[in-house]
């Protein structure tokens, strides 16, 4: 049985880091690098010509930064199948939250190990979101609920189309909890938890779990709380 190869575009202003990522990614049978960009403008141009499955995007680059590039990529209908995984030095960076609002599917610290990076690429390319429970709770609580940033991804009244269980599962997902954790809390199987998450995504028009989290806060289903000191 053939395995689909995940096509990755690298966007980082550090050539050495890009080279390291390329060697690591190309060493895997199911992953391949289709291009390298040194800034956001080049990342957008290459994304439109190569149509990668995933863009590994540094947030801070000269000229057009990763945030602007992420916004443009996620807003392009021709790139609807392309996911963006943000690389950041600081997981609490406000720009990460803005990138999630713009449509990025998750973020990863630059101090992540090789296996963690490869797993993150596979997770996001599969349509899941990479949302660390510890980092994301504070991040989302502090920034995602601020009304002045980013478009409303779904009308609050659409929540009425969800079942009580779907709203419950969506709220737990918004806290950064995995399907396994949600399943344990609700005494259901991980498959059932995953099914509820995907049904909520479908009804609300969320492209992935990351957008579902944003919608949960924007709609008021989950209230932001001040981050712990």
Q: What is the mean pLDDT of residues 130-134?
A: 60
List pLDDT tens digits, range 108-120. 877 888 998 999 8
List pLDDT tens digits, range 145-168. 555 555 666 677 788 899 999 999
The set of residues, in sequence order, having a beta carbon less than 8 Å from that of 22 and lying 6+ positions away, is 10, 33, 36
The pLDDT value given to residue 224? 62
Q: pLDDT confidence of 88, banded at 50, 70, 90?
A: confident
The set of residues, in sequence order, having a beta carbon less than 8 Å from that of 160 and lying 6+ positions away, is none
Q: pLDDT confidence of 11, banded at 50, 70, 90?
A: very high
Task: Give me the percent of the chain exceeding a pLDDT of 70.
Answer: 81
9: β partners: 35, 55
List pLDDT tens digits, range 25-50. 999 999 999 999 999 999 999 999 99
Q: State the residue for tokens 């406000």.
A: 94
Length of the chain (residues): 229
For residue 95, the SS3 value is helix
Position 1 pLDDT exceeds 50: no
Domains of the chain are 6-130 (3.40.50.2300), 144-218 (1.10.10.10)
């Amino acid at each position: 049985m053939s395995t689909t190869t995940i096509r990755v575009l690298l966007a980082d202003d550090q050539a050495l880091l890009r080279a390291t990522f390329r060697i690591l990614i190309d060493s895997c049978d199911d992953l391949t690098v289709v291009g390298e960009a040194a800034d956001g403008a080049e990342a957008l141009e290459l994304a439109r010509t190569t149509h990668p499955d995933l863009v590994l995007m540094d947030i801070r680059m000269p000229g057009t930064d990763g945030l602007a590039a992420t916004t443009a990529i996620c807003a392009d209908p021709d790139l609807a199948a392309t996911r963006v995984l943000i690389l950041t030095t600081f997981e609490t960076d406000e720009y990460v939250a803005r990138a999630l609002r713009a449509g990025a599917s998750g973020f990863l610290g630059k101090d992540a190990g090789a296996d963690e990076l490869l797993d993150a690429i596979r997770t996001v390319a599969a349509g899941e979101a990479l949302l660390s429970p510890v980092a994301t709770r504070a991040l989302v609580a502090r920034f995602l609920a601020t009304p002045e940033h980013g478009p409303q991804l779904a009308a609050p009244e659409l929540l009425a189309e969800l079942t009580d269980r779907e709203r419950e599962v969506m709220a737990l997902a918004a806290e950064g909890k995995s399907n396994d954790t949600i399943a344990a809390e609700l005494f259901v199987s991980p498959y059932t938890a995953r099914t509820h998450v995907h049904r909520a995504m479908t009804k609300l028009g969320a492209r992935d779990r990351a957008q579902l989290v944003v919608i949960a806060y924007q709609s008021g289903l989950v209230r932001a709380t001040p981050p712990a000191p």
